[in-house]
Structure formats: structure tokens, C-alpha cells
Structure 1
Amino acid sequence: MKKLALCVALALAAGGAYAKDWSTIRFGTDASYAPFESKAPDGKLVGFDIDLGNEICKRLDAKCEWVEQDFDGMIPGLKAKKFDGALSALTVTPQREQQIAFSAKLYNTPTRLVAKKGSPLLPTVQSLRGKSVGVEQGSIQETYARQNWATKGVNVITYQNQDQVYLDLNSGRLDAALQDEVQAALGFLKTPRGVGFAFAGQELPTGAAAIGLRKDDDDLKSKIDKAIADMIKDGTYKKIESKYFDFDVYGS
């Protein structure tokens, strides 16, 4: 009888019949990207992504745990099961979809170049050749800059987090920085450290942000997708959005 029970248990496990326990959901985040995720003076994680994640956990009757992770280690950390979801302004790209799954869209993520006010710089090879542009490691902005600029005379410099990019931009070690438009506007340009800087040129085509998930966690993806859809439908998403933005970040 014991042997039979063991065989049944092994068969069920092999067939994925055992539901995973999602009573606790761990989200990885890079707390250097206000207003999406950053640290309050008391050390507490705050931001749009943090509020969205906490609301998702609430709807799934799960405890939220937040794991801080530099952005370039977000996908490796997810795959290594350091956390269950990467919730950190992570843009969906074909390259990333080869490695991980994504939830339903959270918001749009346009990209912009930032430089000194009055600078003639534009987000083009011709304008940036011989200049130094800072990007966050692992970001879509790094990918874009490397593919389109780095091989054509633009000095693309990578940093572990966005705060380091802005430090070198302020110090003059960088001529410009390439990052998410909303983050740059609210997390830099509208703050004291962003005085004297402005957007340079038009936005670059990028995509939409979502929660990164492991490909074999289909059940968690289904739960999170439903929570996102319900939040949008019942107005909770708009309520959270209005705390941080005076415009629609979700888009069409």
C-alpha cells in the first residue's frame, strides 16, 4: 500500500498536479527608479510598481515580499528563484520573452534622452558621435544604445542603477542619459538634482512594461493577469495611477 501511495504521489508530481503555494509572492525590484520604485527616508520601498504589486497580492490573498535587486540581475534572479516576479519597470522585448514569461501590460514605457538645457544634442548617431551617454545595465535603453550607437562612435557607459547614471550626469562625466521618459520626468527633471537638465529630442520607440515571470509558473501568471484586469475594470488602477501621474501611463 505504501509503495502504491508513493507511486501515485510521484505520478501526480510529474504531471504537475500539485498546485504551487502562492500564499506568499516575492517581487524583485530595483529601488533606484522613482516614481516606479524607490526608497523613502525611512527605508521603506515606495512607488507605482510597489503599490501595484501590493494590490495584486491583496487580491490574491497573498503576502507580498519585496527583494531588492540591481536591474541587470533581474532576469537571472528570477530564473534562479530568488523571487517569483520581476516588478521593476521591466519592458517586454522579444529577447526577454525567449527567457521568461510576462504578465498582462502594466503601462507604456517611452524612452527619452536627457541632457543639459539648451544642449544641441539629439538621440541620433550624428549628434552623439564622440559623446558619452549613460544607461542602466540590463535596460532596453542599454540594448538600444549598444545596437544603434555604440558601434558608430558613441561612448555608451553602463551603470548598475539609475541613480548612478544621474550622479555622473550631474558631475559632467556624461553628456547625456537615456532612460524611461516618465522616470526621467518625475524622478529627475522635476527634482532638485534635475535642475538645469531637459529632454533632448523626441521619444524613441520602445514598448510596454509588465511583470516578468518564470515560464513554468502558468498558474501565477493567470492569477496576476486576472488581478490586473480586475484592477483596471473596477477603477483601482486609475486610483493608484493618480497618486503618481497626472496623465494616462497605461495608454491604449
Structure 2
Amino acid sequence: MTAGNTRRTTAMRSRTAAVGAIAVAGALLLTGCGDQTKDNGSKPEGDSGSSSAPLADKLPADIRSKGVIRVGSDIAYAPVEFKDDSGKVVGIDPDIAEAIGKQLGVKFEFQNATFDTLIGGLAAKRYDIAMSAMTDTKDRQEGVDSETGKKVGAGVDFVDYFTAGVSLYTNKGDTQNIKTWDDLCGKTMAVQRNTFSHDLAKDQAKKCKDDGKKDLKIEDFATNPEAETRMRSKGADVVSADFPIAAYSVKNAGGGKSFEIVGDQVEAGPYGIAVPKTSTELRDALQAAVQAIIDNGEYKKIIEKWGVEDGAITEAKVNGGS
């Protein structure tokens, strides 16, 4: 179904929010994720940085010297980041990171982790940045738990680089008359833990209860492929994920015969590269590099390659999410 642009309210945005059509090619999504180990199949280590790169002098001296930016990422979220049949990390984020790296004279080394550990990994200095279809939100910026409203961390800064949306999808031919989020009362949803979809599901479950309707049961998983497996086995009625991810799964899973999108997208919002609050020099270098690839046309080529033109931005903002 062609997606619309329906707004909903919720306590926070996690991975994403709403944009247009996608037609992407590539390998089926592989499910290995969450080992928090280095992925050497995609991003080789740099030698010592490149002072000839246009924006190399904007980087902190230690990163420029090492020639590597360590990236925490949930590498099971095609087409944003995933492993192809050879085990190489590919997708929108790795391609954008490579283009940014050329501007800064460094390599981006992607390290695999579950999505809900990424900000903690930044705080523990396991990574320099997190780049994983993460929505830029005020709660994340301020280190606030969206459910309790309590301060739980120092927060992060974001360099925004894309806009995306969230969708519902079901087993093909088994939509159970689901067209909107209000149709989910009495259903079972499988969803990736601590994502925007998870937040929306909890918000909708409360609404079902408040309206005196049947409960929405939520089953959460470490990765989106696990949520899809649960639905495929009839253990859940519906999955929710970012629209690019949902569309990719619908197009590729089972040769396009496994799933179908139902209803409209909801909640427009930006993806951001997360950077520790203390890393202002790195943040500003990344912002300059993202803007440079937008201006020189490299960004457009990447977005067109993956068929997600409707999610393109024209300005690399810092903390542009709300």
C-alpha cells in the first residue's frame, strides 16, 4: 500500500519515523547480531589518517592519528545496515559513513551490537559514535528515560543525516483487517526491543486498555529478524519497523511472498549519528562532512542507490529531533 503521513503522539521516538516509497535490491537479511565484536568484513582499519582529505583538520587529533572512527551499530536492519551473503557489512549507513570518511580522511569501523546497548556502549567508550537508524529525540539528547521521565545518563548529541518512517506489516494474505494502529487491540505484535515501534506499541496498548478494548499483546525481541520469525511462525499477528526496513523485508523475504505492509506510515523524524556530549569536536567534524557530501552530490547517489530518495535531507543539523 502506498504510505501516507499520519501523525501520532508518544513519549519518545526510538529508531525512526515517515517517508515515501522504497525499492531496494540486495541480499536477504541475515540474522546474526548482538555479539559486540568488531566486524572486519566491511570497514578496514585506517593507516594514520589522511591530512590531504578536505576536512581532516576538523577531527580531534587522536582520531586523526588513528585514522579510524569506531561505530556501534545493530547490523541486522536491512537496508540501513546488514551483512550480505559474503558477510560484508552493507547498506545505507555504511555507504554514507564511507563517503563521510573520504571527507575526513578516516575509515569507519562498524562493530556489531544489539540496538538497546548502543548508547551505553558510547558511555563506556566502546565506540566513538553510534550509527544505526537511531532517531534523534529530545529524550536521547538529554539522557532521559521516556517512560519514567527520569534522568538516566548524560545524553548524546546527534548529527542528522536522513528521515524515515515506521510501518506495520503482516504475513502475506493474513492482514486480519489491520489498517491503522487502532486496529491492533486484541492482536499480538512482535517488535524489536527499545525501538520507536516498541514505544508506539506500548502507547497503543495503553490506549486499547483506556478505551476498554481487548488488550494488545507485545512480544519484544533483540533484533527485527527475530520479530519477523515469530510472526512467520504465527506466534504474532503483526510486526512494526521503520518503513525502509519493512519495505525491504516485504520485497525480499521469501521472494516477496512472505509479508505485506498494511496501513500508512506514522511519525516523521530524523535519523542521527549519536556522539557523546563530550565529543564536540568530533560532532562538528561529522556535521561538516555530512553537509559536504550533500553539497557535492555523493549523498544523493547513495540515497538513489538504495531507493530511499524521499528520506533525503538537505541540511545536516545537530540535534534537529524533537
The TM-score with structure 2 as length reference comes to 0.68
Tell me how many residue pairs correspond in the alignment. 232
- Alignment correspondent of 2:267: 205
Higher relative contact order by CA 8 Å / sep ≥ 6: 1 or 2?
A: 2
- Alignment correspondent of 1:5: none
The TM-score with structure 1 as length reference comes to 0.86
Task: Tell me whether 194-203 or 91-100 shows the greater mean CA deviation.
Answer: 194-203
RMSD between aligned alpha carbons? Answer: 1.7
In 2 relative to 1, CA 157–218 (structure 1 residues): closer, same or farther, beyond 3 Å?
A: same
- Alignment correspondent of 1:234: 296
- Alignment correspondent of 1:160: 222
8 Å Cα contact 1:150-1:156 kept in structure 2: no
Counterpart pick for 2:130 among 86, 105, 123: 86
Letter in structure 2 aligned against 1:94: K
- What is the Cα deviation at residue 206 of structure 1? 4.0
Partner Cα separation in structure 2 for residue 215 and residue 123 of structure 1: 38
8 Å Cα contact 2:122-2:129 kept in structure 1: yes
- What is the Cα deviation at residue 192 of structure 1? 3.2
Runs (5+) with no aligned partner, structure 2 = 1-59, 144-154, 210-214, 315-322
Counterpart pick for 2:191 among 101, 124, 135: 135
- Alignment correspondent of 1:113: 168
* Percent sequence identity over aligned pairs: 28
Q: Deviations over 1:193-249 (max 9, x none)?
A: 352421111111141101011011000000000000010011000111122116332
Partner Cα separation in structure 1 for residue 184 and residue 98 of structure 2: 41
Runs (5+) with no aligned partner, structure 1 = 1-18
1:192 partnered with 2:259: no
The residue correspondences of 1:29-40 to structure 2 (distance < 5 A) are: 29-40=73-84
Task: Tell me whether 146-155 or 91-100 shows the greater mean CA deviation.
Answer: 146-155
* More helix per residue: 1
In 2 relative to 1, CA 246–69 (structure 1 residues): closer, same or farther, beyond 3 Å?
A: closer
Q: Which runs of 4+ in 1 moved over 6 A?
A: none
Letter in structure 2 aligned against 1:191: N
- Alignment correspondent of 1:22: 63
1:145 partnered with 2:201: yes
8 Å Cα contact 1:114-1:176 kept in structure 2: yes
Q: Deviations over 1:121-179 (max 9, x none)?
A: 13323x21221111111211111211232563211111101111111121111100111
8 Å Cα contact 1:103-1:225 kept in structure 2: no
Counterpart pick for 2:179 among 104, 118, 122: 122
Partner Cα separation in structure 2 for residue 111 and residue 171 of structure 1: 23
- What is the Cα deviation at residue 117 of structure 1? 3.8
